[in-house]
Structures are given as C-alpha cells and as structure tokens.
Amino acid sequence: MDIRKQALVGMTIVSVFVFLVTVLVVVFSLYSQGQEVPDLLKPFLAYHVQFMIVMGLFGVGSGLALYTILNSTLEKQKQIVKTNSQIIMKFLAKDEREVVSLLLSKDGRTTQSEIASLPNMSRLKAHRIVKKLEGQGIVHVEKYGKINMIRIIDELMELEN
C-alpha cells in the first residue's frame, strides 16, 4: 500500500475513534447535568456499557492498525538503508568498509576515537579514512571540542528512494 494511502487510513481510524469518544463524552455530560439528551443520541445512553466496551475494543484495534502501518513503513526504510549501504560498500576499500559498517551498527553516528579502536586501526589511519570518506561525501565530521563525531550522510538513512 502506498504511504499516502496508509496515512489516509491511519487518519481515518483516529478520526472515527475521536468522533465516537466525543459523542460518548457529550452524551454523558448532558445526562449528568440533567439536560435532555437528543433523540439521536439516546441509544448511546441506553446501551452505555456496551458502547464503552465497543469503544475500548475499537481503541485497541485502531492502535494495532496504526502500529501495523507504521511498522511496515519502518521495515521499508530499513530495507532501503540496507540496499544503499550494500551498494556503497562495493566501491570502498576494506578499511573504509569497516568504518562504514561501524557507523551503520551505531545508527549512523560514532566518534573518531571509536573508529581508531577498530582492529589494525591507528588514530592517524582513522583520521585519513574519515577524511577520505568525507571527501567522497559518505560521512560528515562534526567537531565537539576535541571530539570528532562522525555521522553518515542523511541520504543513506532516509526513506526516500
């Protein structure tokens, strides 16, 4: 299902749930204040226990539906990131692949000192590899005082193709 259709289904489910809860609240507020409940809303008052049970089940069902929609979107995003990273990995040297693999395992961010702690990696070698990856546009270096935070580019972590 297209992402726009999923968003529309999700908004419809939430809107129906909010509407029904609003009707329930209005009926009981009118009833508790001693005001006359409109004929259209009297069935909600007569079967209020059943209506509350149905609303609870509808709330759980709508929550499950929204979870399913959002989960499928996240799964698609993970697949795209995996595909993009596999393509990039084919064009990198062994040490560069190790650095990118570390970044991907750390959700796209790590420090340069963590990169230097990889096997067969010195601080100088880590610095050179990071500079090379930055020159290729694969990573960004963000300086925080004496710490270099290495971040993989956003395009590799986004959902869009």
**According to the model, what pLDDT value does residue 158 have?**
53
pLDDT value of residue 142: 93
Q: Kindly report the CA angle at 40 between 36 and 45, in degrees rounded to 5?
A: 65
- pLDDT of res. 161: 33
In whole angstroms, give the CA distance from residue 62 to residue 45: 23
Please choose, from the candidates 9, 3, 14, the residue with its C-alpha nearest in 3D space to the C-alpha of residue 74: 3
Which residues partner with 148 through β-bridges?
A: 143
Domains of the chain: 3-85 (no CATH), 92-157 (1.10.10.10)
pLDDT tens for the chain, 161 residues long, are 677 787 788 788 888 888 878 877 777 777 778 787 777 777 766 777 777 788 788 878 878 877 887 788 788 877 887 787 678 778 889 999 899 889 888 888 999 999 999 999 999 999 999 999 999 888 999 998 989 999 998 776 653 33
Asked whether the beta carbons of 14 and 58 are under 8 A apart, the reply is no
Alpha-carbon distance of 130 to 138, in angstroms, equals: 9
Q: What's the predicted TM-score (pTM) here?
A: 0.48
First to last CA, the chain: 16
